[in-house]
Structure 1
Amino acid sequence: MLIILKRLFGAGVLGVLACCLLLARPCLAREPGELVFGMSAPFTGVNGEMGIEFYRGLMAYIEHFNRDGGASGWTIRVLPANDGYNPQPCFTNTVEFVTRDDVFALFSYVGTPTVAHILPLLRKYSERHIYLLFPLTGAEPMRTEPFGRHVYNLRASYFQETAGLVDHLTAAGRRRIAVFYQNDAYGRTGWDGVRRALERHGERIVAEAAYTRGDSFAHDFSAEVDLIMAARPDAVICIGTYASQGAFIRSMRDKGHDIPVAGVSFSDSDKMVELLMLEERRSGRRYTDNLICSQVVPCYEDTSLPAVRFYRELMDNYRGEPLAAGQGYTPRRFSYVSFEGFLNGIMLGEIVRRMADDPRRARIPEVMESLIDLDIGIGVAVSFGPGRRQGLDAVYYTTVVDGLFQPIRDWSEWRR
């Protein structure tokens, strides 16, 4: 725990930390030991709660995996490092993971701008067989050359999420679509996905507005709302984070615009709705009507799925260390983000099981290619296989019901 706190918050005595790290280096000898995986994510700042929820979900499974003895004696340790959702700290964390901590692999990084910044490092360290496993991003650079060969993604891509949103909205007669997006690699990828999907329907983006990464929920987006609404859109697709997207929705509703607003999975819909519900109670206005969000994991309320039942059981019993996101943060019992982290943990455990006879970094591609039609209990199989760097393609669509995002059963509600 001392190591985790030092890495997260940057304080402490370097000599003591160095000694601790030396003692904790992963053992890659023939005798079973501990395999260490480096995770750079935001644990503070405007996206801090997202990083923590993701970490909590994956650790709920990994602690279970270790309690059961791991795989032939091999156990897993995740070494988290805070990057605050900023590229340069993520870069520094990654260099330290590889050169100082000698991690077995990089695992469950969070965010497109941060992950995009460290992709050249993966190529630089390719002779060490350093791979990034299952980042929380749907961006294309992690899925295409020249860097895609160093990354294994579990989740569907932003192109797949935005294509589905556009298909459903246009089918409902909402063909005039605007985009509100974060002005960085994440936002531009989503913007491009919307553009491509609309072109397939013979349409174009009717208006757009961008915001600066890091804008908080307190921000007033009235000017961006006016710019977008001047084009008379039928719907707005957001490529944002929970704080900024929530603030934009509040500004839209405050100005009397009730058209549908849709977002992608990275918006952390559970947290966004929590913020908007607090605003509803404070102001008496309605902010959670006509909201849509695409997800890359099934609904965590669907207890017909074995993985959902297992997730809920382990999360209810998880007592991990509470990484600090900021004042007022309370861990959520369940969320889409922690469920995605939980599935990442299942996948990491499976990788270790399949190489427990000889765990070496160089074997990661071989093991990943063996993961074909793997049932992890979510109703669709995970398949990698030769040349495939993404295990799942499923996208799920949700809307707010009683203060929670729930699956959309019928899109006719949004028909014009």
Structure 2
Amino acid sequence: MTKKPVTTRSGRFFKLAGMTASVAGQFASQKARSFFSSENDEGARSESYSRMAARITDTLGEMKGAAMKVGQIASQTQDFLPREFSDALQKLQKEAPPMPFEVIRQQIETALGKPVHELYEYLQEAPYAAASIGQVHRARMHDGTDVIVKVQYPGVDESCDSDLKQLRLALRLGGLLKMPKESVDQLFAEIRERLHEELDYDNEARNLDVFREFHRNDRWVVIPAVVRSHSTRHVMTLELEEGDHVGDITPERYDQDTINLIGHRIFTAMADQLFRFQCIHGDPHAGNFAYRPDGTIVMYDFGCVKKLKPEIVLAYRNAVTAALEQDYKALDQYLIDLGARVESQPAIDEAYYAMWRDILVVPFESEQPYDFGQARLHKDVAAKTSTVFKYLDSFKPPVESIFIDRMIAGHYWMLKRLGVQAAFGNELRAYLAEFR
């Protein structure tokens, strides 16, 4: 039986509060068992973490909204949650189950002030896509223009701050946040700011205009135009720009040369935004991109956009350059500049930096094409995550650049799923040399 969606602020609060109580109880039980046990049972702790992770993931997936979005972000990093949680939260990256159409219809009519039949020639009941804070439906304007209508789920905007507080409380009471309180404060403040922007579709409409202007000379980048007359803070109508999802890229329509061309264009768009525009598309998962057989890339969803400080981009550039040149003393200082290294702690062993450098720069070292389809960077990184604990007090989440890391990780997975074969080393070094 389909569960009735939780759309009220009080309903969301009690749902999340129940999750928090459950997680806290499981953590207390696990601590009690370990106290009375004569040995540290790693297996029991992992099993307890897995149960807590399953409860949190199920609740966030059902709740949608800000809490689900944080879960998606958390699934992409091992920095502040145990591995069992990052693994479980991967489920939230998949397309969310849709909200009933009657809820969506009411949301549209409330936001735009007219019945749906007056607003559109037709509006498809089946969703075109469903995500964490809203879903999309195909429609047609009365003038014949094909559009998509992006509709925010009711209640998620008003409940954003309350959701975040409850989720943070659940993670804290579950003993899951592996960082100092100051870092937690900074991290959640950054996420809160980005979420408030993402929940404001008027803001996203402005972002779309800005990115369309930035990419105006890149004919291979397509960004949908906003239909302003049918857009508000909670509903946005966009001209329909279709393409093939990454799962629909087949050899019959996309040969390897076209896939490689798309890969180079993905890299160029990412590097242009980072180094030249200094403003990045901060939600680069597969559902926000589509492709066409002529090599065109269609970009969707500009709700999560991060305007970067020039000094952060410079520090990022310097850190990457130092890593490529194996100048680990310089790298240590640039990571401090970036806010990733605790300045009061001693310098890091150069062998530690060398280990990570040798894993992460593999796609950029050779002039021969790197086969992203066969890439195992993520596995190599996962195999070394246990070494982080040795330097846990020396590093902290780089709040100002966390969305750069998220962008790069998202693009890595797109290149891998596409099966791109390309050498990006010379292109990367050209951007690094240009930005000084």
TM-score (norm 1): 0.29
Query: Larger % of helix: which?
Result: 2
Query: Larger % of strand: which?
Result: 1
- Considering Cα pairs closer than 8 Å and 6+ residues apart, tell me whether 1 or 2 has the greater RCO: 1
